[in-house]
Amino acid sequence: MKKILLFLLLLNWNCSQNQENSEIVYFDLKGLITKQIQVLNQNQPHLKKLWQIGSKKETKEFKKTDWSRELEVFVEADINKSGLKNSYEILKNKNTEKFTLKKGESAPIKYILITKDQKGNPVRIELESSMNNYLFDSKSTLVLKFEGENLKYYSAEGYQKLFFGKADTTKIEGIIL
C-alpha cells in the first residue's frame, strides 16, 4: 500500500512539473494576466462591476479586489499546455495574432485573437470557449482591453443550456477605475 501511495505521489509531482514547465508556443496569456494581477493587487484600483443574468442587471463598485480570483478565468484559458502544443493554427500580421483550434482537435478554447498597438503591446484580447456533451452546451466570449500596458476592462459573456432546460445567458463586465 505504501508503494502505491508513493507511486501516485511521484506521478502527481511529475505531472505538475510538466504542466508548470510548458513551453510557450502560442501567446503567453497566462504570463500577461499573472503580471496584471500582481500590479492590480499592489495598486488596488477601484473596480466597477456589472452583472447581467437573463434580464436582471446589477452594478457595484469595489474599493478592494482579489484580482487573482477576479481574473482566474483568463489565467485558466492558457493554451500553452503541453497537451495542446500542436493544436492551434497561428495567423499573424502587423497588428493581430489569431490562434484557432485545428479541425479534429478538442479543447475548450476555440480561438484567441490579440490586437496590438504599434509598439506590439496588446490593446484587445478576445477568446471563445465552448463545451458540449449530452448534459449541457455552453459558450463564452471573454474580452480584455488595455491602455498602454495596463488592463482597464474585461468581460465574459455567454450562455449555458442544460439538456432539459432553456439557455441561461450571463454577462459580466469589469471596468478598472
pLDDT score recorded for residue 5: 35
pLDDT score recorded for residue 4: 36
Average pLDDT over residues 50-68: 95
Lowest-pLDDT choice from 24-33, 37-46, 55-64, 127-136 = 127-136
pLDDT score recorded for residue 22: 59
Mean pLDDT of the chain: 86
Residue 53: which residues within 8 A CB-CB, separation 6 or more? 168, 169, 170
pTM score: 0.83
pLDDT tens-digit map of 122-131 = 999 999 999 8
| Residue length of the chain | 177
pLDDT score recorded for residue 83: 87
- Which has more pLDDT, 10 or 59? 59
Q: Is the four-CA dihedral 27, 122, 110, 136 of positive or negative sign?
A: positive
pLDDT score recorded for residue 143: 98
- Flag whether pLDDT at 1 surpasses 70: no
Q: Quickly count: other Cβ atoms within 10 Å of residue 52's Cβ.
A: 15
pLDDT tens-digit map of 141-157 = 999 999 989 999 999 99
